[in-house]
Amino acid sequence: MVFLRILCITSPHASFSPPSTYTRRVAVPLAMLLQLGVVLCSHADRQGLAGHYEFQCPSKFEIQGAGYQRETGHSPPKTTIILQQKGLGAKAPKALATYVRIMIELIPGKPGDFAGLSERIEATERETFDSASHSQMKKYARDSGGVTKLLAWHGTRVEPVGNTQALCCTYLRQVKRNPPVLVSVFLVQNYDCCYRITASHRERDTEWPAAIRTFMDSMVFVRRPARSGATGKWTTIINREFNFLISMPPHWQERTTLMPNVRFLCEDPGTGSRIFVSAIRDDSGFEELPDIDGETSVLLLDAQRELYPDVVEVREKRTAYISNKKALYKEYHFTHREDQHTVRLLGMEYTFLFNNMIYSFCASCPLENENALRPIVKRVVSMFRVHTMLGDLPVDSE
């Protein structure tokens, strides 16, 4: 059992005896506990453009600051984010010896000007983008009077970028006598806008392609128009693949996410509060969550603190009910570290079994917003439903 192996690795109290009913009882809630830790920690240092995208800045990069831009005379729009080699802003010798840039530009439009975020990219689109981009670069090189040379054109392909796909053209250019630079331009369409991501590095510097790919894989784009609750209205969302219905509060926005096993995520941008639902397959054979006795709680807490030390204080754990299903309810405080700032947060989680699935309904917010989040969670929980036949579920929007 995978869960048993995880337990034996993470808990000093676990043994390597054959799986027993008791061990399986431990393994089921532990699985979701480990999953929760992944969820809590995975977005700790993410940055981006609100309402459009977020990303994880790789350790080899830094975001270009206003001071460096003033010094170089470069003033990009506020909606443009540029990453550069770490240490360049401080003029570190190692950073000055190489070159890499990732520039993310927002190109606004009107609703329907661009394809939707998840729409398939057709071959004709790729051919059109390739032809237009190639012609544009040749004209740019001609107009530069020989300052910029287009050394090679490597064509256009469809590339994965985070939670979507992009058209990507690649070419090799040279400015004056500087070392040749390999450039890849990614175009992501999103209904009423698109994003142009330009990644460039010296061809001879082989350390950068892997770091650029790590950045690309970390991107999460927000589908536009973002589905959000209108003023005074709750929005009901049905997930038919994982058989649950959830109602989203007014002003909250649904987000796409790359977090493992998370099937729904929404947030209140103004307060930093989040509600999400995760679900994974279960092979325990139980029809409902077993009772959690004292020894099992110790095992779970030890494993939680060992794997995720940011979860520092469990405030409450008890049996509860959600969608008429028996659940383990846990409430805890944890820390969110970003740059030089540390924020204390409240987490609330209901874990339960249904139809051979392990579900986890979770909510989190900064501690100062606790009083505002609690009544919202109470109402969302009261309306949350899981059912094998979603056609039988009532849709409660108001």
Each domain of the chain, given as residue ranges in start order, spans 2-46+226-392, 52-221
Confidence tier at 96 by pLDDT (50, 70, 90)? very high
Least-confidence region, from 83-92, 183-192, 309-318: 309-318
> Is residue 109 predicted with pLDDT exceeding 70?
yes
Bond prior to 179 in cis (omega within 30° of 0): no
Q: By percentage, how much of the chain surpasses pLDDT 90?
A: 38
pLDDT of residue 373: 93
How many contiguous H segments (helices) and E segments (strands) does the chain have?
Answer: 8, 20
pLDDT tens column, 110-124: 888 888 887 888 888
* Rounded mean pLDDT, 161-171: 93
**Quick one: fold of 2-46+226-392?**
Protein Transport Mog1p; Chain A (3.40.1000)
Q: Could you give phi then psi for residue 375, rounded to 5 degrees?
A: -65, -30
> Is residue 186 predicted with pLDDT exceeding 60?
yes
CATH topology match: 2-46+226-392 vs 52-221: yes
Q: 53 versus 313: which is more confidently predicted?
A: 53
pLDDT of residue 161: 93
Q: What is the CA radius of gyration of the chain?
A: 25
> Is residue 46 predicted with pLDDT exceeding 80?
no
Least-confidence region, from 20-29, 142-151, 163-172, 206-215: 20-29
Distance CA 321, CA 288 (A): 11
Distance CA 361, CA 276 (A): 6
> Is residue 70 predicted with pLDDT exceeding 90?
no
* Rounded mean pLDDT, 202-224: 92
pLDDT of residue 38: 39
pTM, to two decimals = 0.59
- 52-221 has CATH 3.40.50.300 classification: no
pLDDT tens column, 290-332: 565 555 555 555 655 555 555 567 788 888 999 988 888 989 8
Give strand pairing partners of 363.
275, 348
Q: 331 versus 7: which is more confidently predicted?
A: 331
* Rounded mean pLDDT, 191-197: 93
Least-confidence region, from 12-26, 228-242, 280-294, 300-314: 12-26
Confidence tier at 334 by pLDDT (50, 70, 90)? confident
pLDDT of residue 45: 55
Q: Which residue type does 333 have? A: H
Distance CA 150, CA 168 (A): 17
